[in-house]
Amino acid sequence: MFYIIDILGTIAFAISGVLVALNKRMDAFGILIIAFVTAVGGGTLRDILIGETPVSWMKDMTFIYVVIASTIFAVVFRSKIDYLRKSLFLFDTIGIGLYTVVGVEKGISAGLHPIICIFLGTMSACFGGVIRDILCNEIPVIFRKEVYATACILGGATYFLVIKLPIASNFVFVIAGAVVITVRLIAVKFKISLPSLYKD
Amino acid sequence: MFYIIDILGTIAFAISGVLVALNKRMDAFGILIIAFVTAVGGGTLRDILIGETPVSWMKDMTFIYVVIASTIFAVVFRSKIDYLRKSLFLFDTIGIGLYTVVGVEKGISAGLHPIICIFLGTMSACFGGVIRDILCNEIPVIFRKEVYATACILGGATYFLVIKLPIASNFVFVIAGAVVITVRLIAVKFKISLPSLYKD
Amino acid sequence: MFYIIDILGTIAFAISGVLVALNKRMDAFGILIIAFVTAVGGGTLRDILIGETPVSWMKDMTFIYVVIASTIFAVVFRSKIDYLRKSLFLFDTIGIGLYTVVGVEKGISAGLHPIICIFLGTMSACFGGVIRDILCNEIPVIFRKEVYATACILGGATYFLVIKLPIASNFVFVIAGAVVITVRLIAVKFKISLPSLYKD
């Protein structure tokens, strides 16, 4: 079940990478690398920081195949991808919910402080997009206008609140992930964003 | 004592990150991440390269709290931060002195060659700012006009000259750090910078 | 023999870094760092991802000295470097051939899947240039127009085809490297590049 969600998230992340790379007029190799980095970059950075190497995508080929297939699909149907925008947004949102909780749990296994765990969860979910934007020579979009990281932080915090209750750990996982997804959906629906704090 | 210097350095680095992020019109999350990366990025890269993971800020929450507090402070008082410019410059300069020597000593513990140790010290002190500038889509400022890295390199080299003398290791630490600080202060006071070597 | 090729490759990579950095009007320190990162960045990223730390250039000072000497040479003779363009192109091409196969073999020693090994080889050869371009605030050139990575991928794939034949492992190394070099030379000679796939 979680595995399927993980794959859906990977598809959404990879396609978002393809779309950005196409706009930057990259060649086939560049597009594939950007798709790949967007999909696995956050988890890779997390694994490197906690010292879990070789990093996880080196040990399970499924994600490599999913990224390659998604990239080919997105390039072939690039003029029709707009029709999928809603599904992709949904996959992406479910994906960050899952990635956040997986990151939090990896931090807990490594014996780290809850705040660090929340940070690791947020990084797993968001930093693929950050690396994508850096490689494409843009200021990362999540630093400017999306309630993306905030949703992950709230979901991670929920994890540590809920885990003290007498409920099964699978439920904790689902509840924390649901918080991420709900916050993100609400923020996008009502166009809520963080203020820029820039002084004019 | 060193711990207090370390915290002052972290404050100065975090605030420099906030100021750059504000200018780029980032939102609250982006500002916090840039502050954090500026403060801990150099040491993190050093720890990853020598394989000391989980990286050091994951094991001592003090720095996380200092970064968060500094960020809130800098955002709230952003219109008044100019009055602090001199203190911040001083904290920052003391901070790179300390970070350089800490980096050199980490390299020595890992059994590395003196040149590599000097490199690690310089990286600890300077690469937080490099990552900050990359995330903000700028060419890193230290590659262009500041005698910043040069001060660190001279301080690191001093460490290896002085350590052969019959003096206490605490003194070696202080002397090397003082060289970094002095070189930087003199360079800024007399507006000395490295030539750009660009051929017109 | 391989060691000499490795050094020639390092020289070519370092000089390519110096030329980009000079164009960006960096100072002496910036130029040295860009030269260094271009020369060792790909291998460093590979070592970090598979967890082989301290990374390899920390353990063999030769490459540090080669980078420093190449940088000084390139800066001093910067107005004459055009005469060397052909030799540099040749060194660079031989260098990526070698780096690719070394990367593939490191992946095999780490027990990784052939596709991951090919990826590691390509990364060893190409990502020094990617990091150089990011630090210089450019979209990495290999994502846009060079048949650079493709040559590495084909060479890496050749390695796994040829290794099943009953020939000495040294020959496998040479054949795979030669494929990288040949593909790159042919692509440049006949101005072959990957299509950009951008929809107008």
Task: Compute the distance between CA of residue C135 and CA of residue B140 in angstroms, rounded to an integer.
Answer: 7
Among residues A192, A9, A199, A198, the alpha carbon closest in space to that of A100 is found at: A9
pLDDT digits (tens, 9 = 90+) for A168-188: 878 888 888 889 989 888 888
Chain B residues lying within 8 Å of C137, measured CB to CB: 137-139
| pLDDT for the residue A1 | 58
| pLDDT for the residue A160 | 92
- Its sign, for the CA torsion C104, C109, C114, C117, is negative
The torsion defined by the Cα of B47, B53, B57 and B59, in degrees rounded to 10, comes to -140
Report, as an integer, the average pLDDT of A54-67: 87
CB C14 within 8 Å of CB C129: no
- pLDDT above 90 covers a percentage of chain B that reads 12
| Cross-chain residue pair A195–B31, CB shorter than 8 Å | no
Among residues B154, B160, B128, the alpha carbon closest in space to that of B55 is found at: B128
The region of weakest confidence among A42-51, A167-176, B177-186, C178-187 is: A167-176
Among residues C30, C5, C34, the alpha carbon closest in space to that of C17 is found at: C34
Task: Compute the distance between CA of residue C54 and CA of residue B146 in angstroms, rounded to an integer.
Answer: 29
| pLDDT for the residue A156 | 92
Partner B contacted by A112 (CB < 8 A): yes
Residues of chain C with pLDDT under 50: 200
pLDDT > 90? residue A69? yes
Mean pLDDT over each residue of chain B, to the nearest integer: 84
| pLDDT for the residue B200 | 45
Q: What is the DSSP string of C32-93?
A: HHHHHHHHHHHHHHHHHHHT--S-GGGT-THHHHHHHHHHHHHHHTTTTGGGGHHHHHHHHH
The region of weakest confidence among A131-140, B150-159, C116-125, C151-160 is: A131-140
Among residues B157, B88, B85, B80, the alpha carbon closest in space to that of B116 is found at: B157
| pLDDT for the residue A140 | 80
Most confident option among A75-89, B107-121, C16-30: B107-121
CB A128 within 8 Å of CB A37: yes
- The domain ranges of chain A are 2-189
pLDDT digits (tens, 9 = 90+) for B123-143: 888 888 888 888 888 888 777
pLDDT > 80? residue B145? no
| Cross-chain residue pair C135–B137, CB shorter than 8 Å | no
Fill in the amino acid letter for B89.
F
- Its sign, for the CA torsion A64, A65, A67, A71, is positive
pLDDT > 60? residue A8? yes
Report, as an integer, the average pLDDT of B163-185: 86
Residue A36 token pair? 């790949």
Task: Compute the distance between CA of residue A87 and CA of residue A95 in angstroms, rounded to an integer.
Answer: 12
Phi, psi torsion values for B99, nearest 5 degrees:
-60, -40
Chain A residues lying within 8 Å of C134, measured CB to CB: 134-135
CB C112 within 8 Å of CB C120: yes
pLDDT > 90? residue B69? yes
Report, as an integer, the average pLDDT of A39-48: 89
| Cross-chain residue pair C143–A22, CB shorter than 8 Å | no
| pLDDT for the residue C173 | 86
pLDDT digits (tens, 9 = 90+) for C35-51: 999 898 888 999 899 88
Tell me the Ramachandran region of residue A51: left when phi exceeds 0, alpha when psi lies from -120 to 50, beta otherwise: left
Partner B contacted by C34 (CB < 8 A): yes
More confident residue, B3 or B139: B139
Q: Which residues contact C172 (CB under 8 A, 6 or more apart)?
A: C159, C162, C163
pLDDT > 80? residue A146? no
Report, as an integer, the average pLDDT of B43-55: 87
| pLDDT for the residue C200 | 45
pLDDT > 60? residue A153? yes
| Cross-chain residue pair C115–A61, CB shorter than 8 Å | yes
pLDDT > 60? residue A32? yes
Chain A residues lying within 8 Å of B26, measured CB to CB: 139, 143-144, 196-197
